[in-house]
Chain A
Amino acid sequence: MSWVNYLIYAFLAVNITFNLLGSIALHRFPDVYTRLHGATKCTTFGTIFAVFAVAAHALYQLHVTGDAKYLQMTLHSFVALIALLLTNPVGAHAIAKAAHLSGYKPAKAVIDAYEEKLGGGKE
């Protein structure tokens, strides 16, 4: 019982830390693009560890009780993780591109190569 508990505590601690960090990054950074960095990376990483914690718990319960619903819980949480890993970066890319095309410039940018490319296309 003991070491699995500590494993689950460690996973949950990482999960809470990075999910909170992701939402703090929303308030800490100055514009859309930098906020997307914090939001996408940190919350994806935190959710990976939430799934790991649930999987460790469910596999341990499967080992103790032999109830097949815990196997189901493990597999389904991994399917949720794969769905999230495939969709999250694409969503972030779509938001970033839409924000740039609708005219929101990156704040404090030292270079904006995409703007040069779009401007060159219009002339």
Chain B
Amino acid sequence: MPFIVAFVFAYILWLVLTAGTNGLLWSSQELIAGLIFAGIIGYATKDIVGEKSTRFLNPIRWLEWIAYAPVLFWGMVKANFHVAWLVITGRIRPGIVRVPVDLEEDAQYTILGNSITLTPGTLTIDACPEEKALYVHWIDIPKGMEKPESSEPVSGPFEKWARRLGK
């Protein structure tokens, strides 16, 4: 089963990279060569990819990723105007805070950590799944927020999304 996952993703990448080399669609030689190379890559990486990766073949999950993109993009827009404001004024109040989160899987921590890094004012420094917490560098801590009780003030809606996407 991991072989099929790696094969599908390698073949999709091959199709994207070779589209338009010879006419708008693919020639039959390209399709066959892609099958061979994707087979080799799928066989070579099937132990690395692992058994849990089959959840990425679920089409509903792909639709959820597409729905997640505008949310993340809006977060990035806010983040950039915030950082622009800080660069211009130079008024910062930085610190590293411990943020308790309620997640189980490693993939959820990865998604939440990357989303936090790209969204307003925060940067993930370490993730500790054993104590269910993230250590986050916050560039402009509001007064009285040095020990947040939940991830709501730091990550906004992203914990909910990470829990759903990484399941």
Does A pair with B? Answer: yes
Q: Are A33 and B76 in contact (CB under 8 A)?
A: no
B63 lies within 8 A of chain A by Cβ: no
What residue in chain A is nearest B120 (Cβ atoms)?
Answer: A41
Question: In the complex, A21 Cα to B133 Cα: how many Å?
Answer: 32
A71-B20, A114-B96 are contacts. A93–B83 as well, Cβ < 8 Å? Answer: no
Of B30-38, B122-130, B152-160, the one contacting chain A is B122-130
Q: Are A42 and B83 in contact (CB under 8 A)?
A: yes
Q: Are B125 and A114 in contact (CB under 8 A)?
A: yes
Hey, what's the 0/1 contact readout for A62-82 against B, CB within 8 Å counting as 1?
000000111110011001000
Residues of chain B whose beta carbon lies under 8 Å from any beta carbon of chain A: 13, 16-17, 19-24, 76-77, 79-80, 83-84, 87, 90, 92-98, 113-114, 117-118, 121, 123-126, 128, 135, 137, 139, 141, 146-147
B143 to chain A, nearest CB (A): 10
**Size class of the contact patch on chain A:** 35 or more
Question: In the complex, A117 Cα to B131 Cα: how many Å?
Answer: 11
Chain A residues whose CB sits within 8 angstroms of the CB of B146 once the complex forms: 110-111
What residue in chain A is nearest B98 (Cβ atoms)?
Answer: A113
**Which A69-115 residues sit within 8 Å CB-CB of chain B?**
69-72, 75-76, 79, 86, 89-90, 92-93, 96-97, 100, 106-115
Partner of B117, one of A29, A34, A70, A92: A92
Chain B residues whose CB sits within 8 angstroms of the CB of A28 once the complex forms: 87, 90
Q: Are B95 and A111 in contact (CB under 8 A)?
A: yes
Residues of chain A whose beta carbon lies under 8 Å from any beta carbon of chain B: 18, 21, 24-25, 28-29, 31, 33-34, 36-38, 40-42, 44-45, 48, 68-72, 75-76, 79, 86, 89-90, 92-93, 96-97, 100, 106-115, 117
Q: Are B137 and A75 in contact (CB under 8 A)?
A: no
Q: Are B16 and A75 in contact (CB under 8 A)?
A: yes
Q: Are B113 and A109 in contact (CB under 8 A)?
A: no
Question: In the complex, A68 Cα to B18 Cα: how many Å?
Answer: 11
A40-B117, A93-B113 are contacts. A111–B20 as well, Cβ < 8 Å? Answer: no
**Chain A binding surface SS class:** helix
Q: Are A76 and B17 in contact (CB under 8 A)?
A: yes
What are 27 residue pairs bridging A and B, where the CB atoms are less than 8 Å apart in the complex? A24-B87, A28-B87, A33-B139, A37-B139, A41-B117, A41-B118, A42-B84, A45-B77, A68-B22, A68-B23, A72-B19, A75-B16, A75-B19, A79-B17, A89-B117, A89-B124, A100-B96, A100-B125, A106-B137, A108-B92, A109-B94, A110-B94, A110-B146, A113-B98, A114-B126, A115-B96, A117-B98
Question: In the complex, A86 Cα to B22 Cα: how many Å?
Answer: 30
A40-B118, A86-B114, A110-B141 known, 9 other contacts, Cβ within 8 Å? A21-B80, A28-B90, A37-B123, A41-B118, A68-B20, A93-B114, A96-B123, A109-B96, A110-B94
